[in-house]
Chains A and B, each alone.
Chain A
Amino acid sequence: MTVANSQRDTSLVGTRVLNPSPATPLIELDRVVVDFEKRQAVFQRGRPDLLRAVDEVSLSIANGESLGLVGESGSGKTTVGRLAAGMLAPTSGIVRANGQVLGQDRGALASYRRNVQIVFQDPYSSLDPRMRVGSIIAEPLFGREGAWSTRSARKERVDELLNLVGLLPDAASMYPHQFSGGQRQRIALARALSSDPRLIILDEPTSALDVSIRAQILKLLKDLQRRLNVSYLVISHDLGSVAYLVSRVAVMYRGRIVEQGSPAQIYRTPQHPYSRLLLASVPREDTSFIMTEDIAVNEPEAIDAGTGCGFRNRCNLRCQLPEPSRCEDTRPRLLAATDNHFVACHGIGARSGVDNGES
């Protein structure tokens, strides 16, 4: 079902209104923009060019909820992850953690950061080769007051964590190079879990791993989430892994969220042409991917922060629209297509009735 644009002109800021939850979200991005300065040539004068990595992104993650961010490289997924981790201040827009605006006082940021951990893509470079595994895992506990302030308490915690991620207690006295990729990712996960965080940002957690090991880690991640009720922000271009781990998916393209919904909505009835392209590109057992020529030549170009839809040059829906010029002049807003399913595309209203067909 599609709702006419004028009826429900709600950008994602309105998620809270549409989807009221009793608790304040763990982390909330409200129309966040991030600009990066492009590197300048040595003698170049004037102001550096800006690159808009994140463009008015709004999203929220509730306690115990898991959100997946998918999109191609350069779409801004990792930058959103860094924002959510409190590692990066937005150029404009607001980041709230537990209802408090981050960036205004240091205390809020510091206490929020204590509740967030990150697992990186490459477990070969994210673990210090000169530290023993036990110290790596215990590192987030140093300087914490309370239960883990004594050495023996930390040692006990390390053993508990190693057991939790499926490694033997002997691992604590070994070095990262003595482990395989999958085992190292388990160590990285144990480190992330050690201070009992509320949110773990998983940035391509399984991309560097072999297929058979990937499934082990995914299963472990899902299992841990059930047991510990921790929230995940899963950043990945692997739609399969995301589908397995999360309850909500946001599709990013060139710094903007173009579609957001439940995995069922995104994977079974994708609305945005980019989401459809993304899904059609995944190799599957039953179908083959034969791409149309017009998309073949239109690889992504440099981002333009101007008006209009960022996907318009690769879009195969645009020419079918009554007013293709709208895609150039007006930025499509993220509108509710159905319940809790949001799409930013001018074609959605114009195309009602033929939504479920293959693109």
Chain B
Amino acid sequence: MRMSSDSVGADAATPALEVKNLCVSTGRKRDKGRQLLDGISFKLMPGEALGVVGESGSGKSLTSLAILRLLPRGLSVDAGEILLGGVDVLAMSARDLRQARGRKFSMVLQDPMSSLDPCFQIRSQMREALQNVVSASGKSRREIDEICEDLLQRVRMPEPDVVLRKYPHELSGGMRQRVTSAIALSGGPDVLIADEPTTALDVTTQALYLSMLKQLQISTGFSLMFISHDLLLVKQMCDRLIVMYAGQVVEEGPLGEVLASPQHPYTRALLRSIPKPDVDAELFPIDGYPPDPAAYPPGCRFAPRCAHARDACDGGVPDAAPRSASGHVARCIGTADGGWVA
């Protein structure tokens, strides 16, 4: 494997995943200028859980697809680097990529019903996945079954031996998502990308699944990139947070710090717009709708919906300016030094 040329600086550890200035656009001439991801950069350290928050269309799922090189046809990476443990994913050959998927990085998708094949028993789907990640050759069926049962036990599946003989439709949503997680983790990946894994689940099932995933992450030590539109869910799961809006990272930092003193008006507004399960809770919606990628505002992309926007906000996209020594950055001139937002 080709190691990346740029060495890691003062930090001793290489990030498990590093995305540098990733830009993705629709490649067609007719749509020229539809830039869907614009300069996405972040680092995911080994064992860390990074939350990615944003609304639909903000580019959070697209980022994860780009990392796995699974972008839909018609979209292309225009610029940027994706380093997986120091190795450039974008430069990998098809063979290296196949080796890396499942072993180096892996993904859990939103809807477990569509990521499992309805025609096959859980057993054969797990076997198929295992063939890619462990050397299944020389192992008897019995031994492979045992590996599958072990994997299911790790995701706290009750009665793994029974579940192996079932079809996806015979399992509940939470159990299906456990199966897909067991498959995703079967190769012992360094990085797991979970893209809204609980959207299709009930609250109670969601809480069970996520506490399982969190405990597994702590005990196994993989790095987790957790994508969600729910800030409070991310708070339960992650150490660090990036907030995306209209194809850009608008705020990044340690989770506690970002939630305690959000530096981008969008992050603030998101926090205030969550209905709380309590009496007389006030609700502050964000007016308006996210911008169309074909017609982004000239300056700050949140400015048209922002309560604090001034004329200065339209004068070019604000830089991601540091807000503290702990890596808290935000793209807002209103909250930066000399800004007008308290």
Query: Contacts A212-B285, A283-B230; is A241 near B275 (CB within 8 Å)?
Result: yes
Inter-subunit contact A283/B233 (CB<8 Å): yes
B207 in the interface (beta carbon within 8 A): yes
B contact residues, range: 35 or more
Residues of B within 8 A of A241 (CB): 275
A96 in the interface (beta carbon within 8 A): no
Inter-subunit contact B202/A240 (CB<8 Å): no
Inter-subunit contact A210/B55 (CB<8 Å): yes
A193 CB to closest chain B CB (Å) equals 19
Query: Which residue in chain A gives the minimum CB-CB distance to B259?
Result: A285
B277 in the interface (beta carbon within 8 A): yes
Spot the interface stretch: A57-65, A87-95, A273-281. A273-281
B92 in the interface (beta carbon within 8 A): no
> A201-234 vs B: 1/0 string, CB under 8 Å?
0000000001111111011000000000000000
Residues of B within 8 A of A13 (CB): none
Inter-subunit contact A300/B172 (CB<8 Å): yes
- Enumerate the 5 nearest inter-chain pairs by beta-carbon distance, A residue then B residue, closest first: A240-B275, A215-B285, A281-B207, A215-B273, A239-B277
Residues of A within 8 A of B212 (CB): 296
Interface residues of A (CB under 8 A from B): 72-73, 180-183, 210-216, 218-219, 237-244, 262-264, 267-268, 277-285, 288-291, 295-297, 299-300
Inter-subunit contact A214/B156 (CB<8 Å): no
Inter-subunit contact A289/B207 (CB<8 Å): yes
Inter-subunit contact B204/A281 (CB<8 Å): yes
Inter-subunit contact A299/B172 (CB<8 Å): yes
Inter-subunit contact A278/B204 (CB<8 Å): yes
B211 in the interface (beta carbon within 8 A): yes
Query: Which residue in chain B gives the minimum CB-CB distance to A220?
Result: B285
A243 to B278, CA, bound (A): 6
Residues of A within 8 A of B283 (CB): 215, 218-219, 244
Residues of B within 8 A of A213 (CB): 55, 285, 289
A325 to B173, CA, bound (A): 31
B279 in the interface (beta carbon within 8 A): yes
- Of the residues A182, A240, A262, A295, contact of B276 by C-beta under 8 Å: A240
Inter-subunit contact B275/A299 (CB<8 Å): no
Inter-subunit contact A212/B204 (CB<8 Å): no
Inter-subunit contact A268/B269 (CB<8 Å): no
A281 to B230, CA, bound (A): 14
Interface residues in B121-161 (C-beta closer than 8 Å to A): 156, 158
A261 CB to closest chain B CB (Å) equals 11
Inter-subunit contact B286/A282 (CB<8 Å): no
A228 to B45, CA, bound (A): 54
A124 to B203, CA, bound (A): 23
Inter-subunit contact B276/A291 (CB<8 Å): no
Residues of A within 8 A of B285 (CB): 212-213, 215-216, 218-219
Inter-subunit contact B236/A295 (CB<8 Å): no
Inter-subunit contact A299/B205 (CB<8 Å): yes
B220 in the interface (beta carbon within 8 A): no
Inter-subunit contact A210/B203 (CB<8 Å): no
B120 in the interface (beta carbon within 8 A): no
Can you list 18 pairs linking A and B with CB atoms under 8 Å apart?
Answer: A72-B202, A72-B205, A180-B289, A210-B55, A211-B231, A213-B289, A215-B275, A215-B284, A216-B286, A218-B285, A237-B202, A238-B203, A241-B275, A243-B275, A243-B278, A278-B203, A284-B276, A297-B156
Residues of B within 8 A of A183 (CB): 289
Interface centre among B212, B277, B281, B284 (most CB of A within 10 A): B277
A244 to B206, CA, bound (A): 22
Query: Which residue in chain B gives the minimum CB-CB distance to A211?
Result: B229
Inter-subunit contact B277/A279 (CB<8 Å): yes
> B276-303 vs A: 1/0 string, CB under 8 Å?
1111010111110100000000000000
Interface residues in B210-238 (C-beta closer than 8 Å to A): 210-212, 229-233, 235-236
Interface residues in B235-251 (C-beta closer than 8 Å to A): 235-236
A91 CB to closest chain B CB (Å) equals 26
Residues of A within 8 A of B289 (CB): 180, 182-183, 213
- Of the residues B175, B207, B287, contact of A216 by C-beta under 8 Å: B287
Residues of A within 8 A of B317 (CB): none
Inter-subunit contact B204/A296 (CB<8 Å): no
Residues of B within 8 A of A291 (CB): 207-208, 211
Query: Which residue in chain A gives the minimum CB-CB distance to B266?
Result: A212
